Structure 1
């Protein structure tokens, strides 16, 4: 089940830069980019909670499930 990360949307609505978000959450901009680009294998609940606190949102505003694509043989 692929999970899509929409971390670009909420900060843009809040007029917050990626650098400012990373600083306020307490992670490096590089680590935030890994999460934002969907390359992270895992995200700590503490990090997700910090993102939600800083952005004043819910986890579902940042993460969503995408439909899986199947290939018929």
Structure 2
């Protein structure tokens, strides 16, 4: 695993070490977990935004099922 260097305020560093110790983990493990959670949450938020946008769209197929050929048809507009 690659190493990184970060700068932290003394108080934040102290609090982070204390939190990690209380939770029986090393500070680098705490930081790794927090970063992984933040990145995973952003991915989930992005996906939720996509679904919300799709729900708001006013496009309709007029309840007519599309054929495979129609789904793959290119209109040339793009």
TM-score, with structure 2 as normaliser:
0.32
Per chain length, whose mean CA-contact separation is higher, i.e. which structure has more relative contact order (CA < 8 Å, sep 6+)? 1
Judging by fraction of residues, say which structure has more strand.
1
TM-score, with structure 1 as normaliser:
0.33
Judging by fraction of residues, say which structure has more helix.
2
